[in-house]
Chain A
Amino acid sequence: MASAKKFLAGWGRYPVQECITWRPERASGLYLPTPMISRGQGRSYGDAALNENGNVVLTERVNRFLDFDSDSGELRAEAGVTLAEIIDVCLPRGWFLPVTPGTKFVSLGGCIAADVHGKNHHRDGAFSSAVESFSLIVADGTVLNCSRNENSDVFWATVGGMGLTGAIKDVSLRLRPVETARVIAKHQKAQDLEQAFTLLAEEDDSNEYTVAWIDCLARGRSLGRSVVMHGRHATAEELPASKSVLATGGRKVRTLPIDLPSFALNSVSVSLFNAIYYRREGGKQKSFVTDIDRYFYPLDSIHHWNRLYGKRGFVQYQCVLPINTIDTAFEGIKRILEQLSASRRASFLAVLKRLGPESGGLLSFPQSGYTLALDLPVRGKDLFAMLDRLDDIVVKAGGRVYLAKDARLGRDSFEAMYPRLSEWREVKQRIDPNNHFDSSMARRLGLTNE
C-alpha cells in the first residue's frame, strides 16, 4: 500500500493539517503497524480525524455489506459503509436506522466512535443502542470482538472513544422497521426560550423526533425565539394507496462550487434569513408529509455547504446542559444565547434538542438535558475567548462539549466535563499503552500525552 501526503480538515475546515494518508481497499488494510488514526467520511467538524504529520487511514473504500436479514433487520457491514448506503439498500426492504445524525454521509465507524445521536435521542438513545457488536483491530494488530457481553469495557471505551482504542472493522447493528419512506412533520413557533423548552419537553406520539431551530440573533424578550419541529414515520395507511410507499425518490443535489467570501455570512444576512425562516417554517402548524431525505438530512441536498463559511472555516460549538434541577439547563442555555447575541456573532445554524439518559459510553456526549449547537465562522480574535467563557458556563452546570464537533476545547475544561475519563484511561492504558492510536484531538486534549 502506498501513502499520500495531504492537507486534511474536518467538516468545519478548521484546523487544516498535513497528514500522511493511506487508503486501503480492503478490511485487512485498516490497520497500520505504525501509529495512526482512522478517518471515515470526515464529517466530524474539528481535529478528531486528523493526525498532524502522522498517519491517517481512510476507511472510505472498506465498505462491504456482510449480511442483511430482511426479516429481522439485522445488518453486518464494514466500518466504512455509510448511512446513505444503508438507506439505499435497506429502506426499500422496509428498514431504517434507529438513530441517525443530521447527515447521512457518515460512516458506521464514525457513528460508533462519536456515539452519535439523532432527533429521537430522548426516546431511543444514542447510536450505540442499535449496535449489537463490532470487531476492533487493536494496537498489536489482533482483532477483538466487542459487545455488551464480550470485552464490554473495550466496547464502552470505543463507543464515543473517537478512534483511540483501535480501528473498528465490522459492525453488527439492528435496524428498525418502517412501513414507509415518509415522515409526518409538524412545526410550532416558540416566542422565546421558555416556550421552546416547554414544547421540546412535550411527550406524545407525534414527537418521536423533535428538534428546535433557534434564531440566535433574537434578543431581549424574543431571546430563544425558535421553530420547534416534530416528526414521526408515516404508516402505509396514511399515504395515498397509489404511491410506492418505500420508494425514496431521487432528490436534486446541488454543489456549492466555491468558497463564499467571508463577509457573506454576517449578522445582517443571517438575521434576514432567520426572520424569513421563522415566519415560513413556523407557519407550518398543520402536520404535513415529507420524505426521509428532506426531514432528516436537509443540508445533504447541497454538497460542500461548508464552503458557505469561506476559506477560514468555522467551528461548531455543541454543548449539553443536564437537567439536574429543572432550571440549570434553561439558565445555562439562556446565558450562552445572551453571550452570543451580545457578541453579535451570526450563527447561521443553531439547533436545540432534548437528550435522554447516557448510553454507557465512557466518553459519549449525550446526557439527560438540553443540547445547543452553534455554527460560528472562524473570524475575529475574540471568538475563542468567548467560547472559553461558554465552556465555563457548561462546566459549572455539569454539562459537556461534544468532541465530534470540537476543534478548540482546553484540557482542563475537557477533564471537568467527562467524569468517566479515568475509567476510559484505564482501558486505554491496558489495550494501547504506547498510544498506537493517536490523533491531533487526542494530543490537544491530553488523551495520549499526559
Chain B
Amino acid sequence: MSEARKILILGATSAMARGTAAAFAARGDSLYLAGRDTDELTRLATDLSVRFSVTTHHGVVDIANTASHSAFVKQAATALGGLDGVILAAGYMADQADAATDFAIVERMVAVNYLGAMSVLDQCAALMAAEGQGFIVGISSVAGDRGRQSNYYYGSAKAGLTAYLSGLRNRLSSQGVHVMTVKPGFVDTAMTYGLKGMFLVASPEDIGRAIVRAVEKRRNTVYLPWFWRYIMLIIQHLPEFLFKRLKL
C-alpha cells in the first residue's frame, strides 16, 4: 500500500461522502471530515478510525458561509499536517415546486452548490498549487448537463459547478494538481429516498469506491455509474424542438 494521504472531505455527513471516506480509509488514508453537525461528525470520524484503524479529524464548516473558508481550510490542513486531496460532497437539492414559489430556496441552492463550492475549492486549490501536487474532486450532477423543467434551479447551480471545475482543471493541470468532476446519476441517499421516478439507483458505498478508483486513474470527468454517460449523451443531443415538449 502506498503512503497515507491527507484528505479533506467537505459535506462529510452525506451518505455518498461516507462511502467515499470509507474507500479512502480502507487504503489507509488520513481524513478530515467537515460539515455542520458536530455530533454526527464525531460519530463518523470514530467509526472510520475503529473500522479501518486510520487517523481522523473533524471540524465545522458551512459551505454557504464563504467568509469562513480561508481560515477553515488552513485549520483543516494544519490538523492533517498537509493536504493531498479534497472531496466536495456538500450539496443541497430542494423540491423544484417549492423553489419556484420561494426564491430564498433558489438562492440557498446556488449558495451551497455553486458559490460556496467555488469559494472553498479556491482556498484548497491555492494551498495545493503552492505545493505542486494533490487532487480535487467536485461532486456535481447529471442534473447539470441539461436543464429540465422538473429540476432546473438545482441543475443550473450544478451546471455552474461543472463549468467551474472544468476551468479549475484547465488552470491547475500545469501546476501538478488534478481536478476530477463526478456526475452521479441516482444514488440511494437521503437526497433521493422516497422521491418518485427514481430508477437504476446506485448504492453510496459503490459510488464511493468508484470515486476512489477514478482518482487513482486520474480521470477528468466520470459519470457514476458509468451508463449515465450514455443516458446523458442521448438527453444532451435531443434536438431542442423535441426536448422542449418532453415532460422531463
Contacts and interface: CB of A to CB of B under 8 A. Distances in A.
A23 B47 CA distance: 19
Interface SS of chain A: mixed
Contact of A25 (B15, B46, B194, B195): B15
B181 to A, nearest CB: 25
A27 interface: yes
A253 interface: no
B124 interface: no
A27 B190 CA distance: 13
Contacts of A67: 46, 50
Interface size class of A (residues with CB under 8 A): 10 to 19
B193 A66 contact: no
Contacts of A26: 13, 37, 40, 43
Interface stretch (A1-9, A266-274, A287-295, A393-401): A1-9
A66 B190 contact: no
Nearest to A58: B193
B39 interface: yes
Contact of A2 (B37, B51, B194): B194
A64 interface: yes
B44 interface: yes
Interface in A44-80: 61, 64-68, 78
Given A28-B40, A64-B46, A78-B43, A23 B51 contact: no
Which residue, of B37, B43, B189, has the highest number of chain A Cβ atoms within 10 A?
B43
Interface residues of B, number: 17
B193 A65 contact: no
B51 A89 contact: yes
A89 B15 CA distance: 20
A4 B196 CA distance: 9
Which residue, of B13, B40, B189, B195, has the highest number of chain A Cβ atoms within 10 A?
B40
A336 to B, nearest CB: 43
Interface in B1-52: 13-15, 37, 39-40, 43-44, 46-47, 50-51
Nearest to A2: B194
B146 to A, nearest CB: 25
Contacts of B51: 65, 89
18 contacts: A1-B193, A2-B190, A23-B193, A24-B190, A25-B189, A26-B43, A27-B43, A61-B15, A64-B43, A64-B47, A65-B47, A66-B43, A66-B46, A66-B47, A68-B50, A78-B43, A89-B50, A89-B51
Interface of B: 13-15, 37, 39-40, 43-44, 46-47, 50-51, 189-190, 193-195
In the complex, the 8 A-B pairs of residues with the closest C-beta atoms, listed nearest first: A2-B194, A64-B47, A65-B50, A4-B194, A64-B43, A26-B40, A68-B50, A65-B47
